[in-house]
Amino acid sequence: MPLAGEKLEDYANRVSKQVLSSNSVLIGVSFGGMVATEVAKIIPHRMLITISSANQPSHLPYLITVARYMGLHRFAGIIRSSIGMWIFTKVMGTVDREHQQLLQEMLRDTPSQFIKSALPMLMNWKPEIPAPRAITIHGKDDHIIPARHENDLILPGGHAIVLTRAREISCFVRQKLGC
């Protein structure tokens, strides 16, 4: 769990202590991809795979910078309101009811402390070490962290492709791992 006021790099350092093998495959989705990127700078690893994520702050949308300067992270709790949930599922790019309900359950189950700590961490991410090479997977219509031309795999869908395109992602990852 991120601590209040903690930097992303410091959180990644704490997380890295939980990785038991130097031959690990680090995989992260969304914010977890940013954490995995920072962990990859700290420990030896076999491969880094990020899904619907950014490997450096310059890959984040301009709206993150605007949100930082406006202090919008202070209103993180509002995301759990009815209107916040509705906006969240629309922005995530889910189209069917089943995935919308799953996303809402995931958001409800996420501790509020995580949301309140992770948002400022993301907004203030300023790594000193360049990001290592990662295999990147992205949704073509991701409005939260838009796809970039250098992605290894771009699939139809939004930020929630890990749910909506799970089979394709699994096949691609297994191929990269040589399974």
Structural domains for the chain: 8-177 (3.40.50.1820)
SS3 content of the chain, % helix, strand, coil (to 5): 50, 10, 40
Q: Give pLDDT tens digits along the chain (179 positions).
A: 888 889 999 999 999 999 988 889 999 999 999 999 999 999 999 999 999 999 988 888 776 666 666 666 565 565 666 656 666 666 666 667 777 777 777 777 877 777 778 878 888 888 888 888 899 999 998 888 888 767 789 999 888 899 889 999 999 999 999 87
Q: What is the pLDDT of residue 175?
A: 94
Any idea of the CA torsion for 94, 98, 102, 103, to the nearest 10 degrees?
A: 20
- The per-residue pLDDT for range 15-40, each reduced to its tens digit, is 999 998 888 999 999 999 999 999 99
Strands (E), 35-130: 47-51
Bridge-partner residues for 156, per DSSP?
A: none
Q: Are strands 25-29 and 135-139 parallel, antiparallel or unpaired?
A: unpaired
pLDDT tens digits for 34-44? 999 999 999 99
Residue 170 pLDDT: 95
Task: Answer positive or negative: Cα dihedral of 108, 111, 116, 121.
Answer: negative
pLDDT of residue 73: 56
- Report the pLDDT value the prediction gives residue 168, as an integer from 0 to 100: 96
Rounded to 10 deg, the angle between the 8-16 and 31-40 helix axes is 70
> How high is the pLDDT of residue 3?
84
Report in angstroms the alpha-carbon separations of 80 from 37, 38, 87, 89: 28, 28, 10, 11
Q: Residue 98 has what pLDDT? A: 77
